[in-house]
Amino acid sequence: MKEDIVLTMRGICKVFPGVMALNGVDFTLRKGEIHALMGENGAGKSTLIKVLTGVYPKDAGEIRVDGVDEAITIRSPQEAQSYGISTVYQEISLCPNLTVAENMFIGRTRGGTVNWKAMEKRAGELLDSLGIPARPRQQLSNCSLAVQQMVAIARAVDTECKVLILDEPTSSLDDKEVEMLFRLMRDLKARGVGIIFVTHFLEQVYEVSDRITVLRNGELVGEYEVEKLPQVQLVAMMIGRELENLSVIRKENPAGAAKKEVRYEARQLSSTESRPFDFYIGKGEVNGFTGLLGSGRSESVRAIFGADPVTGGEVKMEGKKARITKPLDAMKNGIGYLPEDRKRDGIIADLSVRDNIILALQVLRGMGHPISRAKAEAFADEYIKALGIKTASTDTPIGSLSGGNQQKVILARWLLTHPKYLILDEPTRGIDVGTKTEIQKLVLKLAEEGMSVTFISSEIEEMLRTCSRLIVMRDRNIVGELTGDELTQSHVMHTIAGGGGDSE
Amino acid sequence: MEEKGKLRREPITDTQLLMTITVCIFVGMYILAILIWGGGFKKPQMLFDMLNDNAYLIIISCGLTIVMITGSIDISVGGVTALVAMVGVMILNGNLTLFNGLIAALGLGEGARIAFALLMSLLIGLAFGLVQGYLIAHLEIQPFIITLAGMFFARGMITIISVDPQKGPQDLMDILQKRIEMAWLGSPNKKGVMIPARMEIGVVIALVIVVLVYLLLRRTKLGRSFYAVGGNRQSALMLGVNVRQSRFMAHLLCGLLSGIAGFVFMMHTGAGNATNATAAEMNAIASSIIGGTLLTGGVGNVIGTFFGVLTLSTIKSIVTTSGLRDPWWQSITTGAMLCFFILLQSVVLMRKNKRKK
């Protein structure tokens, strides 16, 4: 093993039933570098981390760390730690009710008693040397999230740490806090700690890392030095399109790009999860939010529907001021929302297909006006036929249907309420190709009939096929709006990556 | 930076804050009672009576505080206490033939009965703690359900052992009910004769237990792991805390302490009765909460609990002294005070934690 290398992983494979999660992935970490691990959903980032920390056993390949002559097997996070590999997870795994010092030392001291003085002294020294603004005797919950994150890092590096894994450490921090964290990361880097930085924020990667390893579909795309990899190329590699092949022509835009009368308009709308943004959609328009995972596209539409607590902004529905702070408000204003996480926010698995279909309409009518059994049956039959839902009967629990059919049921639920504006967040994820095309066709047909539709999909082609206007988001901000001739793969990617292809 | 300003303030944990509030309220309330109702409250014996009557409750509450810190609950404690008291009395008065035989066979004197009673107290308490702790920590069954079953089981056992109330024999009870007399804290009675302040042995036991549990919670790894588990079980696991063992030990200790409480209860009353220590678990929960233990776990302290018991008892004394002798007045004021405390706690914690942003 070369002098400055602290960790090598060679040909790592991990198979889950039916899925090759990792296929011969190599990864090398040098002493004193910040190495970003990038990839879209399902690329294998977290699987690789979990193999490295002993959460999953690897199926093939070898792992070597500095200071050990042979290949090692890591069976548990504790064992990983004994090799000098520490992890700080996205969800801070500390106890909020304990003091900062205790959180740094609990579970790893010897003996049956606690020596508070020595512990607090040691904690104080460590915090000082790392420049973390926390006091040993402070209760952890009184620290800001960033400081809590840094306390977790202090705990991790206090054990003989050569490899520090930071799994999405910045996702709940604001800009100032991120800056604090970066300062700490650079400091640790200067001390020779190798840091694996998992994140989906592009800007942050370019700000702090030295090297990038890109994974896609469980395979290694490559390892690059940051200066030699332009952002747009990184995006292309993550999404999996070579830049040369990006000029796939888009057919004439079916939904009509001309701006018609505005149906819904938001000014500086923000929620607890999204930053303020402006947005509008015209009558009969299909538009879409695009961006990488975590760019804030889902959070934006959730704000429109009031699915997350709305914190500010002005909303107009067909020119009239509207107050939409919770989903019921949105529904009463004629907005429907098909959520990204179907299992959690969409279906009610144990209820029948029929009950799932009439759910939204029933809510709109209120408790006092139940939909009669016969009517419900008629509605269900109508939409099962119209959307081609494959189900044994209207009584079948929705949980036993396939993903695509469940999605159609949720779609039927909203169509039944005859919304003026329908938001579809990842309606085609995890469903078969045939159903995907059907849903795309349906979206275009609904738009022709005058419905406004906002469409979100991870597949850019799908977006290009259906939307006449794309709002591009990066790192939780809207960075561009593409219409007409700008709607090409390369344009979209340039805008996502920032620089070069901006439409404004 | 904003962080700097915060650093200057001496940090205080939720546990310390809530405990301080309780102690202040107790002291304030007691002084108020002396000022308004004077009389009884002026005599130190009033305080010692409270301790004598509530020694067993202090011990139970200590156990419950441990369990509540881990985020769990044990409502079998009252039942176990009553069961232990019944068994103890019957060993003393010779109505449990098994022990009569044992003592005769070993050729021991009557005094050995006390030793056996104590031994059985510890064993019964441990047995409840062991079984409940195992079911809760290792099989992850809801603590409320398990200990509810434990409560019914213990109460049922009492009736099986003896339907009739039992009384301890005078000679042995005289030994057990010896009081520590403190002339310097005495006060004159109506005839003007100085009566020394009297404290039962049970109070000493209770105080020793409070100190021991305090040290356990503050100074040992096991004690700190109780807090970690109650604060965030998943995190505790990730931090390398043995969560199962902690939860098990908490319930085991709680069981053991209810056993000791049963013995102390028997020392105080000298009687075994199916209705002994009725609702003791509820009073213990109330005391712990008043003492600053959160039902959600992770926050609490036995010093606070100790004052919680005294506060509860002071409230009752005040109600009685102020002429509201009907028992429901005690319940109503206790309820109101509990409500007040919980509101106060959440307001204080909310204000404290708001500052962090």
Domain boundaries, chain A: 5-229, 245-331+421-426+447-504, 335-418
Out of B4, B228, B230, the one facing A106 most closely (by C-beta) is B228
Interface of B with A in 1-60 (CB under 8 A): 1, 3-4, 6-7, 11-15
Rounded (5°) CA angle A186-A190-A194: 80
- Strands of the sheet containing A5-16, edge to edge, are A19-30, A5-16, A60-65
Is B31 inside any structural domain?
A: no
Reported as half-sphere exposure (CB side, CA atoms, 13 A), residue B216 has a value of 19
Q: Does B295 touch chain A (CB under 8 A)?
A: no
- Please state whether B244 falls in left (phi above 0), alpha (psi between -120 and 50) or beta: alpha
What's the rounded Cα separation, in Å, for the pair B283 and B289?
10
Reported as half-sphere exposure (CB side, CA atoms, 13 A), residue A236 has a value of 16
Q: Which pLDDT does position B58 carry in this prediction?
A: 97
**For chain B, how many helices (H) and strands (E)?**
16, 4
Is B35 inside any structural domain?
A: no
What's the rounded Cα separation, in Å, for the pair B101 and B89?
16
- 3-class SS of residue A311: strand
Q: Which residue of B has its CA nearest to A152?
A: B239
Q: Which pLDDT does position B224 carry in this prediction?
A: 94
> Domain A335-418 belongs to what topology?
Rossmann fold (3.40.50)
Q: Which pLDDT does position A246 carry in this prediction?
A: 35
What's the rounded Cα separation, in Å, for the pair A493 and A460?
9
Q: Which pLDDT does position A260 carry in this prediction?
A: 64
Give the ranges where A70-132 is alpha helix by DSSP (H).
Answer: 77-82, 100-105, 116-130
Token pair for A400:
């036993």
Out of B218, B220, B356, the one facing A142 most closely (by C-beta) is B356
Q: What is the CA A411 to chain-centroid distance, rounded?
A: 23
Domain interval for residue B239? 44-345
What's the rounded Cα separation, in Å, for the pair A397 and B48?
66
Q: Please, are residues A300 and A277 in contact by the beta-carbon 8 Å criterion?
A: yes
Reported as a single tens digit per residue, the pLDDT across A202-236 is 888 899 999 999 998 888 999 999 998 888 888 88
Give the count of domains, chain B.
1
For domain A245-331+421-426+447-504, give the CATH superfamily. P-loop containing nucleotide triphosphate hydrolases (3.40.50.300)
pLDDT at B7 over 60: no
Is B18 inside any structural domain?
A: no
Distance in Å from the first CA to the final CA of chain B: 13
Quick check: A138 and B352 CB within 8 A?
A: no
Chain B hits for A77, Cβ within 8 Å? 238
Quick check: A141 and B4 CB within 8 A?
A: no
Is B161 inside any structural domain?
A: yes
Q: Which pLDDT does position B354 carry in this prediction?
A: 65
Q: Does A102 touch chain B (CB under 8 A)?
A: yes
Q: Which pLDDT does position A82 carry in this prediction?
A: 84
What's the rounded Cα separation, in Å, for the pair B86 and B117?
10
What's the rounded Cα separation, in Å, for the pair A469 and A259?
10
Q: Is the ipTM here above 0.95?
A: no
Task: Report, as an integer, the average pLDDT of B81-95.
Answer: 93
Is B351 inside any structural domain?
A: no
Model confidence band, residue B206 (pLDDT cutoffs 50, 70, 90): very high
Could you give the C-alpha distances from B296 to A142, A179, B330, in angstroms and in order? Answer: 18, 35, 27
What's the rounded Cα separation, in Å, for the pair A220 and A218?
7
Model confidence band, residue B269 (pLDDT cutoffs 50, 70, 90): very high
Who's near B115: CB < 8 A, 6+ residues apart? Answer: none
Instruction: Single out the residue of B306, B356, B293, B344 nearest to residue B14, CA to CA.
Output: B293
Burial track A261-294 (b if 16+ CB lie within 10 A, e otherwise): ebbbbbeebbbebbbbbebbbbbbbbbbbbbbeb
Q: What is the CA B202 to chain-centroid distance, rounded?
A: 12
Q: Which residues of chain A have pLDDT under 50?
A: 243-258, 500-504
pLDDT at B217 over 50: yes
Count the neighbouring beta carbons within 10 Å of the beta carbon of residue B109. 7
Is B10 inside any structural domain?
A: no
- Where is average pLDDT lowest: A250-259, A404-413, B151-160, B239-248? A250-259
Instruction: Single out the residue of A237, A194, A234 nearest to residue A86, CA to CA.
Output: A194
Antiparallel, parallel or unpaired: β B166-167 and B271-272: antiparallel
- 3-class SS of residue A471: strand
Q: Which pLDDT does position B4 carry in this prediction?
A: 43
Q: Which pLDDT does position A255 carry in this prediction?
A: 46
Q: Which pLDDT does position A3 carry in this prediction?
A: 66
Quick check: A135 and B221 CB within 8 A?
A: no
Q: Which residue of B has its CA nearest to A106?
A: B239
B341-347 contact pairs (CB < 8 A, 24+): B341/B289, B341/B290, B342/B289, B344/B21, B345/B18, B345/B21, B345/B289, B345/B292, B345/B294
A5-229 and A245-331+421-426+447-504 share one CATH topology? Answer: yes
Quick one: CA dihedral B40, B43, B46, B52, positive or negative? negative
**What pTM does this model have?**
0.76
Quick check: B221 and A141 CB within 8 A?
A: no
Out of A93, A106, A139, the one facing B14 most closely (by C-beta) is A139
Quick check: A97 and B1 CB within 8 A?
A: no
For domain A5-229, give the CATH superfamily. P-loop containing nucleotide triphosphate hydrolases (3.40.50.300)
Task: Report, as an integer, the average pLDDT of B24-34.
Answer: 90
Percent of chain B with pLDDT over 90: 53
Whose tokens are 């909020």? That residue is: A96
Is B335 inside any structural domain?
A: yes
Instruction: Single out the residue of B93, B77, B55, B59 nearest to residue B270, CA to CA.
Output: B93
Count the neighbouring beta carbons within 10 Å of the beta carbon of residue A308. 16
Chain A hits for B221, Cβ within 8 Å? 109, 111-114
